[in-house]
C-alpha cells in the first residue's frame, strides 16, 4: 500500500493539501463513501487497508440490488486523514469540487470474527482481486464484494451487493450527508474549504434553514414502520398511578378526563369505537363514530369519551346513564394520541412527533377535540385541574414510544382526589325511606381472590337505586364471593360481574375505603382486572434512584456468619464442601462459606439464566488476592451426576467437555471449586450457534458515573424507538450491561452486527464521552461500547453473579428508574442483594418471553 500516486498528483508548492502519510491500522477497520461533485459526479468508495484508504471511483454509486454490478475504477490510495472530509476542494486543484461524506462506518472481512486478523486478510484479498466484506455503516450494511475485471482494461472492478437482509430491489438510500445532513448546495455554500492543515475556516458555515415545525409532511413519517394491512387488536397504553405532581422539561402534561377510554379505528371511511377491553362503543356513541366516518385516510386514534356540562366539566354519571337522559350535557371525544396513519405504524415515534401528526390530521368537528398539553409545568397544570374540580392530570415522558396494551411508567396519572374501580360483591337491604339497596359491598382482586374493601352507602339518586337493584337481582347468589366477607346483616350476595367507580378520602391500613361515594358503573373493564391501585411511583422523585439497601460496613462484615462443613451439607447432599472458613475477601472478612451460602440462597433466581448453557468456569480458589484462571475442559474432573457436553468453542479449536449448570447442586459444586464468578455462554446447547440475547457492555475505563448513566439512557431511547425491550444490570464492577432477549435463530455474527449498529448510533449522539476504540489508551475516561462481547464462546458475568473484586459487587438487575447520576454501583453487593431480592424479586422475570425477531427489527430501522 502506497501514497506515492496521491503525492505525485499534487504539487505541494502550489497546494496546501497534506502530503500523504501512512498510518498503522489499529482496531476495527473503517470505510467511507464520499459523494464527489467534480468534473463528473461519482462516489469514492474507500476501505482502510494497512494504514491507508484504498479507493475506487464508482460512477453510479452503490446499489442494494444484487443484480446490479456497478463499475468501480481503482484509483490512488488516500491518507486516513481524508476519511471524514466534507467540504470544497478549490477549483484548479486536483479533484476540485464539492465532497460529501455520504456514508461512513467500520467493516470486516467476511467470515472473520477476529478484528486483529482483518488487516492481514484484507491485504491478501486486495492482492487477489477478490474482496468480500461486511459493511457496518449508517446506510450500507451487510455483505458486499469488489471483484477485479481481468481483460476489461486496467483498474476496472465491480462493486456488488450480496443477497442478505440488507439487499433488495426497492431499497433507496438517503442522498444527504451522513455527518451533517446537508446536500451539495448547502455544503458548497458553506465556508468549509479543504485545506492542508485541516483547520476550520474562521467564518462559520451557513446554517440550513429550519423547516416549519408545526407543519406535517411525509418526512415526519420517515422513522415510522410501514405496514401492509390495517392493524387489529391494538389496545390502549395505560398509565401508572403516581402520588404528587412535578415539574420536568422531559415530560408533558395533559388533562385527565372522567369518561370512557376509547380508540377510534377509521378504515375505508368507516369509524369503529373500541373500548379499552375490546368492546364496541359504536351503538352507544354513534355521534362520535359518525363524526369520524368518511375520512379519506385510515388511522387509529386514542382518546376519551366524556359528557360535559355547559361549563366544560365532565360528569361520569351522566355518561354512564346517558341512555336515560341523552339531552343532559354534550358528548365529546378528546383525542390525545395517534397510533396509525395512512399505512404507517406510528407507535415507535416519540410522543411529541405523534401529537404533531395528530394535530395536523384530526378533523375540525365540534365533538372531536385535540387534547392539548403543556411541557414541563406539571404543578401548574395540576393546580389548574384542582381549581376546575377536574379529575387530575396525566404526565407523559416526551421521548417515549407507545406501548400497546401495557401499563407504563412513561405515563403517570396524578389525581386531584382518590378514585378507585371496585367490584360489587353484594348489597344490603334499604332502611327508612330508601329504595332498592342500602349500600353496595365492594372489593378488588388480589392473587385471584376477591378481597372486601368496604361498603358504599352514598352517591345515589332514586333513579340510580332503581337501576342498580334491577341489575343486582339478576345476578344474586347464595354464597359470599369475598375471601374475607364482612359481618353484615340482611346481605344479598351477587356474582362479581359489575364494576363501579368509587370516590373516597383514603385507604385504611387494611385497605378499606374511608368516606366512599358511588359515581357510576363501568362497562369498559372486566371485574377480574380490578386490582387495588396504590401509587407505584413518587412522581416528585421519579427521576431519582430508588433507595437501595445499605452498603457494606465493617460492622456488617463482622456479623457475617461463620460456616462449617456441617452447615454447608444442608445445602446439598451431592457436593463435598471444603475449606468454608477460607478468606476470599480479606478487607470485608468474607469467606468461601459465605459465597457458597449466597449462591445457595439465590439459586432459584440465577439458575434460569444458566440452564443448558456451557459454563466457562473462572476459578479463583484463593479469593480476590489472585487473578484466578478460566477452566473450560472438565473431562475426568467433575462427578458423574453433573451434566456435560462436548463442544468446539470455535471452528479452529479442539472439542472439549464443558460443564452444564442446570441445578443447584451443580451451581454449588462450581462455587466450591472456587468459581466466585459465574460465566455462561449466550446460547444453549441445542442452539449453540444462535444466542438468545444480545449484550451491550458499557465499559467505563475511568469514565464518570454521569457519563455511564447518560450513555445507558441514550441506548435505552434508541432501543425504545425500535420497540426493542432493554434489560439493564450492573456489571458487578464499575460498568453497566444492557441485554436484549432475541429469538435463537440468528448467528453470533448477526447479533454482534446489530449490537455494533446500535453502538454506532449511540456513539454518534455521544461522541465526546463514548468510544468504539478497542485499545484502552485511545479511550481513556470514555465509555467503551464493547459490541465484541457478542461472540461464540465469549462469556460475561451472569445476572446475580458475584465478582472477585474489592467490595464483593454483584451483577444486579436494575429498574430503569434507578438509572440516574446518583447511582452508586458499589451499593449492589453481597450484603445488600439478598434483602433486595426479597423486596423486589427478579426484575428480569419474563426476560426470555420478550425475545425479539431480529429481522423484523432490522426491517423497521
Here the CATH number for the domain that contains residue 523 is 2.40.50.140
Q: Are residues 252 and 385 in the same domain?
A: yes
- Residue 381 in domain: yes
Of these ranges, 13-27, 279-293, 540-554, the one predicted with the greatest mean pLDDT is 279-293
| Model confidence at 208: pLDDT above 60 | no
| Model confidence at 4: pLDDT above 80 | no
Q: Are residues 405 and 443 in the same domain?
A: no
- Residue 684 in domain: no
Using the 3D structure, point to which of 189, 210, 237 is the last residue of a domain: 189
In this predicted model, which residue has the larger pLDDT, 510 or 168? 168
Helix (H, G, I), strand (E, B), or coil: what is residue 75? strand
Helix (H, G, I), strand (E, B), or coil: what is residue 860? helix
As a whole-number percent, the residues of the chain with pLDDT over 70 amount to 88
| Model confidence at 649: pLDDT above 80 | no
Rounded to an integer, what distance in angstroms lies between the CA atom of residue 514 and that of residue 536?
Answer: 21
| Residue 506 phi, psi dihedral angles, 5° rounding | -170, 165
- Residue 20 in domain: yes
Q: How high is the pLDDT of residue 552?
A: 39
Residue 262, C-alpha cell as written in the block: 376509547
Q: Are residues 491 and 455 in the same domain?
A: yes
Helices 748-765 & 705-721 angle (0-180, nearest 10): 120
Q: Are residues 569 and 528 in the same domain?
A: no
| Model confidence at 556: pLDDT above 50 | no
Q: How high is the pLDDT of residue 258?
A: 86
Give the dihedral of Cα atoms 101, 170, 146, 136; nearest 10 deg.
50
Question: Is the CA virtual torsion 824, 830, 831, 835 positive or negative?
Answer: positive
Task: Give helix then strand counts, H and E, for the chain.
Answer: 17, 43
- Do the beta carbons of residue 45 and residue 55 sit within 8 Å? yes
Q: How high is the pLDDT of residue 459?
A: 85
- Residue 681 in domain: no
Rounded to an integer, what distance in angstroms lies between the CA atom of residue 209 and that of residue 263?
Answer: 38
Q: How high is the pLDDT of residue 509?
A: 53
Note the pTM of the prediction, 2 decimals: 0.41
Q: Are residues 611 and 627 in the same domain?
A: yes
| Model confidence at 212: pLDDT above 80 | no
Q: How high is the pLDDT of residue 216?
A: 62
CATH code (residue 586): 3.90.920.10
Q: How high is the pLDDT of residue 187?
A: 79
| Model confidence at 553: pLDDT above 50 | no
Residue 524, C-alpha cell as written in the block: 369498559
Q: What is the mean pLDDT of the chain?
A: 85
In this predicted model, which residue has the larger pLDDT, 676 or 462? 676
| Model confidence at 196: pLDDT above 70 | no
Residue 484 lies in domain: 418-540
- Do the beta carbons of residue 809 and residue 815 sit within 8 Å? no
Residue 214, C-alpha cell as written in the block: 408545526
- Residue 549 in domain: no
CATH code (residue 306): 3.30.470.30
One DSSP character per residue, 10-74 reads S-TTT--PPPP------SSEEEEEEEEESSSEEEEEEEEETTEEEEEEETT---S-TT-EEEEEE
- pLDDT tens-digit readout, 117-165: 999 999 999 999 999 999 998 899 999 999 998 766 678 999 999 998 8
Q: Are residues 255 and 293 in the same domain?
A: yes
- pLDDT tens-digit readout, 586-628: 988 899 999 999 999 999 999 999 999 999 989 998 898 877 7
* Closest by Cα among 105, 69, 82, 1 to 36: 82
Q: How high is the pLDDT of residue 535?
A: 65
* Closest by Cα among 134, 140, 141 to 113: 134
* Closest by Cα among 322, 258, 264, 315 to 290: 264
Q: Are residues 112 and 160 in the same domain?
A: yes
Given pLDDT bands bounded at 50, 70 and 90, which one contains residue 508? low
The runs of H, that is alpha helices, within 251-395 are: 286-292, 316-320, 351-361, 378-387
Q: Are residues 22 and 142 in the same domain?
A: yes
Q: Are residues 788 and 842 in the same domain?
A: yes
Q: Are residues 523 and 647 in the same domain?
A: no
| Model confidence at 650: pLDDT above 70 | no
Q: How high is the pLDDT of residue 755?
A: 92
- Residue 743 in domain: yes
Residue 618, C-alpha cell as written in the block: 473462572
Give the distance, in angstroms, between the CA of residue 330 and the centroid of all CA atoms in the same chain: 41
Q: How high is the pLDDT of residue 12?
A: 54
Q: How high is the pLDDT of residue 205?
A: 32
- Residue 220 in domain: no
- pLDDT tens-digit readout, 371-409: 999 988 888 898 888 888 788 899 999 888 999 988 888
Using the 3D structure, point to which of 415, 448, 469 is the last residue of a domain: 415
Q: Are residues 329 and 423 in the same domain?
A: no
Given pLDDT bands bounded at 50, 70 and 90, which one contains residue 551? very low
Catalytic (active-site) positions: 256
Rounded to an integer, what distance in angstroms lies between the CA atom of residue 263 and that of residue 38?
Answer: 55
Question: How many structural domains does the chain have?
Answer: 5
Q: How high is the pLDDT of residue 622?
A: 85
One DSSP character per residue, 528-593 reads GG-B-----B-GGGTTSPPPPPPPP-HHHHHTSPPP-HHHHHTT-SS-----TT-EEETTTTEEHH
Q: Are strands 260-267 and 299-308 parallel, antiparallel or unpaired?
A: antiparallel
Q: How high is the pLDDT of residue 13?
A: 55
Q: How high is the pLDDT of residue 549?
A: 36
Rounded to an integer, what distance in angstroms lies between the CA atom of residue 809 and that of residue 568?
Answer: 23
**Rounded average pLDDT over 10-37:** 72
Residue at grid coordinates 438487575: 813
- pLDDT tens-digit readout, 690-712: 999 999 999 887 788 999 999 99
Helix (H, G, I), strand (E, B), or coil: what is residue 784? strand
| Model confidence at 548: pLDDT above 60 | no
Give the dihedral of Cα atoms 224, 229, 230, 231; nearest 10 deg.
-80
- Residue 194 in domain: no
What is the DSSP-derived secondary structure letter of residue 677? B
Report the range of poorest mean pLDDT among 443-447, 665-669, 722-726, 734-738.
443-447
Report the range of poorest mean pLDDT among 300-309, 316-325, 754-763.
316-325
Q: How high is the pLDDT of residue 652?
A: 57
As a whole-number percent, the residues of the chain with pLDDT over 90 amount to 48
Using the 3D structure, point to which of 415, 430, 454 is the last residue of a domain: 415
Q: How high is the pLDDT of residue 659?
A: 94
Given pLDDT bands bounded at 50, 70 and 90, which one contains residue 752? very high
Rounded to an integer, what distance in angstroms lies between the CA atom of residue 196 and that of residue 185?
Answer: 23
- pLDDT tens-digit readout, 658-683: 999 999 999 999 999 999 999 999 99
Q: Are residues 338 and 287 in the same domain?
A: yes
**Rounded average pLDDT over 799-816:** 94
Amino acid at each position: 500500500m502506497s501514497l506515492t500516486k496521491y503525492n505525485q498528483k499534487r504539487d505541494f508548492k502550489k497546494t496546501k493539501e497534506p502530503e500523504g502519510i501512512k498510518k498503522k491500522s489499529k482496531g476495527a477497520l473503517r470505510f467511507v463513501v464520499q459523494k464527489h461533485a467534480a468534473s463528473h459526479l461519482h462516489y469514492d468508495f474507500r476501505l482502510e487497508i494497512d494504514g491507508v484508504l484504498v479507493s475506487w471511483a464508482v460512477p453510479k454509486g452503490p446499489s442494494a440490488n444484487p443484480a446490479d454490478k456497478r463499475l468501480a475504477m481503482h484509483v490512488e490510495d488516500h491518507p486516513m486523514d481524508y476519511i471524514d472530509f466534507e467540504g470544497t476542494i478549490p477549483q484548479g486543484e486536483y479533484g476540485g469540487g464539492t465532497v460529501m461524506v455520504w456514508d461512513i462506518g467500520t467493516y470486516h472481512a467476511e467470515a472473520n470474527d477476529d478484528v486483529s486478523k482483518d488487516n492481514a486478510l484484507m491485504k491478501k484479498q486486495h492482492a487477489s482481486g477478490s474482496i468480500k466484506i461486511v459493511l457496518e455503516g449508517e446506510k450500507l450494511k451487510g455483505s458486499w464484494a469488489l471483484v477485479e475485471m481481468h481483460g476489461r482494461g486496467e483498474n476496472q472492478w465491480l462493486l456488488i451487493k450480496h443477497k442478505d437482509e440488507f439487499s433488495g430491489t426497492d431499497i433507496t438510500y438517503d442522498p444527504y450527508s451522513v455527518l451533517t445532513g446537508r446536500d451539495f448546495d448547502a455544503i458548497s455554500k458553506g465556508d468549509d474549504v479543504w485545506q492542508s492543515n485541516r483547520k476550520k475556516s474562521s467564518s462559520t458555515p451557513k446554517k440550513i434553514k429550519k423547516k416549519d415545525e408545526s407543519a406535517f409532511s411525509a418526512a415526519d413519517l420517515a422513522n415510522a414502520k410501514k405496514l401492509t394491512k390495517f392493524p387489529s387488536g391494538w389496545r390502549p397504553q395505560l398509565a401508572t398511578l403516581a402520588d404528587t405532581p412535578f415539574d420536568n422539561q422531559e415530560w408533558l402534561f395533559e388533562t385527565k378526563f372522567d369518561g370512557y377510554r376509547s380508540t377510534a379505528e377509521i378504515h375505508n371511511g368507516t369509524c369503529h369505537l373500541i373500548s379499552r377491553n375490546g368492546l364496541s362503543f359504536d351503538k352507544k356513541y354513534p355521534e362520535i363514530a359518525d363524526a369520524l366516518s368518511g375520512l379519506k385516510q385510515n388511522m387509529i386514534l386514542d382518546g376519551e369519551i366524556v359528557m360535559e356540562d355547559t361549563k366544560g366539566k365532565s360528569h361520569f354519571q351522566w355518561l354512564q346513564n346517558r341512555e336515560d337522559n341523552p339531552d343532559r350535557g354534550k358528548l365529546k371525544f378528546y383525542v390525545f394520541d395517534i397510533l396509525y396513519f395512512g399505512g404507517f405504524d406510528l407507535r415507535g415515534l416519540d410522543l411529541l412527533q405523534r401529537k404533531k401528526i395528530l394535530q395536523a390530521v384530526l378533523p375540525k368537528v365540534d365533538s372531536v377535540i385535540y387534547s392539548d398539553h403543556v411541557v414541563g409545568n406539571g404543578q401548574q397544570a395540576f393546580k389548574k385541574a384542582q381549581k376546575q374540580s377536574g379529575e387530575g392530570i396525566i404526565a407523559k415522558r416526551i421521548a417515549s414510544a407507545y406501548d400497546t396494551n401495557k401499563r407504563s411508567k412513561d405515563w403517570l396519572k396524578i389525581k386531584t382526589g382518590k378514585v378507585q374501580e371496585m367490584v360489587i360483591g353484594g348489597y344490603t337491604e334499604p332502611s327508612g325511606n330508601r329504595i332498592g339497596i342500602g349500600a353496595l359491598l365492594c372489593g378488588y382482586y388480589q392473587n385471584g381472590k376477591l378481597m372486601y374493601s368496604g361498603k358504599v352507602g352514598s352517591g345515589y339518586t332514586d333513579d340510580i337505586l332503581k337501576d342498580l337493584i334491577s341489575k343486582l337481582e339478576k345476578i344474586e347468589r347464595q354464597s359470599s364471593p369475598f375471601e374475607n366477607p364482612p359481618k353484615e346483616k340482611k346481605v344479598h350476595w351477587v356474582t362479581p360481574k359489575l364494576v363501579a367507580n368509587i370516590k373516597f378520602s383514603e385507604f385504611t391500613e387494611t385497605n378499606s375505603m374511608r368516606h366512599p361515594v358511588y359515581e357510576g358503573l363501568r362497562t369498559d373493564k372486566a371485574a377480574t382486572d380490578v386490582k387495588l391501585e396504590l401509587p407505584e411511583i413518587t412522581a416528585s422523585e421519579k427521576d431519582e434512584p430508588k433507595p437501595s439497601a445499605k452498603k457494606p460496613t465493617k460492622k456488617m462484615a463482622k456479623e457475617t456468619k461463620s460456616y462449617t462443613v456441617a452447615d454447608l451439607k444442608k445445602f446439598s447432599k451431592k457436593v463435598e464442601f471444603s475449606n468454608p472458613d477460607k478468606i476470599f475477601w480479606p478487607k470485608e472478612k468474607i469467606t468461601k462459606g459465605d459465597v457458597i451460602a449466597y449462591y445457595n440462597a439465590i439459586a432459584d433466581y440465577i439458575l434460569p439464566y444458566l440452564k443448558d448453557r456451557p459454563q466457562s468456569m473462572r476459578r479463583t480458589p484463593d479469593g480476590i488476592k489472585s487473578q484466578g484462571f478460566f477452566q473450560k475442559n472438565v473431562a475426568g474432573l467433575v462427578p458423574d451426576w453433573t451434566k456435560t457436553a462436548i463442544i468446539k468453542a470455535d471452528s479452529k479449536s479442539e472439542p472439549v467437555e464443558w460443564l452444564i449448570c442446570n441445578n443447584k447442586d451443580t451451581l454449588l459444586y462450581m462455587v466450591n471449586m472456587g468459581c466466585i464468578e459465574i460465566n455462561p455462554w449466550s446460547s444453549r446447547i441445542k442452539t449453540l450457534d444462535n444466542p438468545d440475547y444480545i449484550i451491550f457492555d458499557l465499559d467505563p475505563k475511568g469514565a464518570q458515573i454521569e457519563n455511564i448513566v447518560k450513555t445507558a439512557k441514550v441506548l435505552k431511547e434508541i432501543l425504545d424507538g425500535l420497540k426493542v425491550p432493554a434489560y439493564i444490570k450492573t456489571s458487578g464492577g464499575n460498568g453497566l450491561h444492557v441485554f436484549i432477549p432475541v429469538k435463537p435463530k440468528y448467528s453470533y455474527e448477526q447479533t454482534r452486527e446489530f449490537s455494533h449498529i446500535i453502538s454506532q448510533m449511540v456513539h454518534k449522539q455521544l461522541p465526546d464521552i463514548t468510544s468504539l476504540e478497542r485499545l484502552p489508551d485511545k479511550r481513556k475516561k470514555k465509555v467503551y461500547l464493547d459490541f465484541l462481547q457478542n461472540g461464540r464462546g465469549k462469556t460475561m458475568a451472569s445476572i446475580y453473579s458475584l465478582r472477585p473484586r474489592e467490595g464483593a459487587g454483584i451483577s444486579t438487575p436494575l429498574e430503569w428508574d434507578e438509572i440516574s447520576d446518583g447511582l452508586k454501583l458499589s451499593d449492589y453487593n453481597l450484603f445488600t442483594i439478598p434483602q433486595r431480592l426479597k423486596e423486589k424479586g427478579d426484575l428480569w422475570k419474563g426476560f426470555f418471553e420478550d425475545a425479539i425477531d431480529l429481522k423484523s427489527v432490522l426491517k423497521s430501522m
